[in-house]
């Protein structure tokens, strides 16, 4: 099980608890990370800046969990997380969320071929840098 102390969104106390994500620190595993996301209907009804924040924070949560496991990303995780960063940069937040969720797929449920780390696999540091670069993009 992947257990890590990570920064993750928490539902705010309000009349519609699934519409806002706020930051808190909590030890989470993969299932808990996925369950902490707002349901799809709530995510789709959010304003674009909120969707962006959810997507960015979710990517960061995954990277923090990998970092706390003291390991590098495998090809599957790295590819999907870079794809998620690119989707955030392109203002495609639903796609970013799906790609980040896909990165969390357990190895036994992935595509039938192996996903080892290769020399062309982005490193954890490179994906973190990509996320930070995406966060600097100003939106109108």
CB 52 within 8 A of CB 2: no
The confidence band for 121, taking pLDDT boundaries of 50, 70 and 90, is confident
- So what's the pLDDT on residue 10? 40
pLDDT tens profile 60-103: 999 999 998 888 998 899 999 999 999 999 999 999 999 999 99
Alpha helices by DSSP H, the chain:
30-36, 40-45, 48-68, 75-89, 93-103, 124-135
pLDDT at 115: 61
How far is it between the farthest Cα atoms of the chain?
A: 49
Rg (CA), the chain: 15
DSSP string, 6-26: EEEEEEPSSSSTTS-EEEEEE
Structure confidence by residue, pLDDT tens digits, 19-54: 222 222 334 478 888 888 999 999 999 999 999 999
pTM of the shown model? 0.76
User: Which CA distances in Å does 140 have to 49, 91, 131?
Assistant: 10, 11, 19
pLDDT at 138: 87
């Amino acid at each position: 099980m992947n257990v890590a102390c990570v920064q993750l969104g928490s539902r705010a106390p309000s009349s519609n608890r699934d519409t806002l994500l706020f930051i808190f620190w909590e030890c989470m595993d993969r299932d808990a990370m996925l369950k902490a996301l707002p349901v799809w209907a709530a995510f789709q009804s959010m304003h674009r800046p909120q969707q962006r924040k959810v997507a960015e924070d979710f990517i960061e949560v995954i990277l923090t969990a990998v970092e706390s496991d003291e390991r590098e990303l495998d090809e599957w995780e790295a590819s999907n997380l870079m794809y998620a960063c690119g989707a955030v940069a392109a203002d495609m937040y639903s796609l970013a969320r799906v790609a980040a969720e896909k990165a969390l797929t357990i190895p036994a449920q992935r595509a039938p071929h192996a996903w080892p780390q290769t020399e062309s696999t982005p490193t954890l540091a490179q994906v973190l840098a990509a996320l930070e670069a995406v966060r600097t993009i100003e939106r109108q």
